[in-house]
Structure 1
Amino acid sequence: MEWMILPLKRYAQFNGRSRRKEYWMWILFQVIVGIVLSFVDAALGLGGQATGATSSVPGSVAAAGNLRGGILSNIFSLAVLLPNIAVAVRRMHDINRSGWYILLPMVPVFVAIFAMAGSAASGNMGVMIVAGVAGLAALICSILVFVWYCTAGTPGPNRFGNDPKADVPADLARTFE
Structure 2
Amino acid sequence: MEYFLHGLRNYAVFSGRARRKEYWMFLLFQLIFGIVAMVADGLLGTTWEAGGGGGMIYTVYSLALIVPGLAVSVRRLHDVGKSGWFSFIALIPLVGIIWLLILYCKEGTPGENKYGPNPKAEFAY
The answer as to whether partners of 1:38 and 1:48 remain within 8 angstroms in 2 is no
Among the aligned pairs, what percent are the same residue?
Answer: 44
Structure 2 counterpart of 1:101, from 68, 81, 86:
86
In structure 1, distance between residues paired with 2:87 and 2:72? 11
In structure 1, distance between residues paired with 2:9 and 2:48? 29
Structure 1 counterpart of 2:64, from 62, 79, 82:
79
After TM superposition, the structure 1 = structure 2 runs for residues 15-164 of structure 1, keeping only pairs within 5 Å, are 15-47=15-47, 68-106=53-91, 108=92, 138-164=93-119
Which is higher, the Rg of structure 1 or of structure 2? 1
* Residue type of the alignment partner of 1:148: L
Secondary structure, counterpart of 1:152 in structure 2: coil
* Residue type of the alignment partner of 2:2: E
In structure 1, distance between residues paired with 2:112 and 2:4? 24
Following TM superposition, by how much is the alpha carbon of 1:68 offset from its aligned partner in structure 2, in angstroms? Answer: 1.0
Q: Aligned pair count? A: 124
Uncovered stretches (5+) of structure 1, i.e. residues with no partner: 50-65, 109-137, 173-177
The answer as to whether partners of 1:15 and 1:160 remain within 8 angstroms in 2 is yes
TM-score in terms of structure 2 length: 0.94
> Which structure is higher in strand share?
1
Following TM superposition, by how much is the alpha carbon of 1:67 offset from its aligned partner in structure 2, in angstroms? Answer: 6.6
1:166 aligns to 2:121 (yes or no): yes
The answer as to whether partners of 1:19 and 1:165 remain within 8 angstroms in 2 is yes
In structure 2, distance between residues paired with 1:48 and 1:3? 31
* Residue type of the alignment partner of 2:72: V
In structure 2, distance between residues paired with 1:20 and 1:105? 19
* Residue type of the alignment partner of 1:4: F
Secondary structure, counterpart of 1:104 in structure 2: helix
TM-score in terms of structure 1 length: 0.67
The answer as to whether partners of 1:39 and 1:48 remain within 8 angstroms in 2 is no
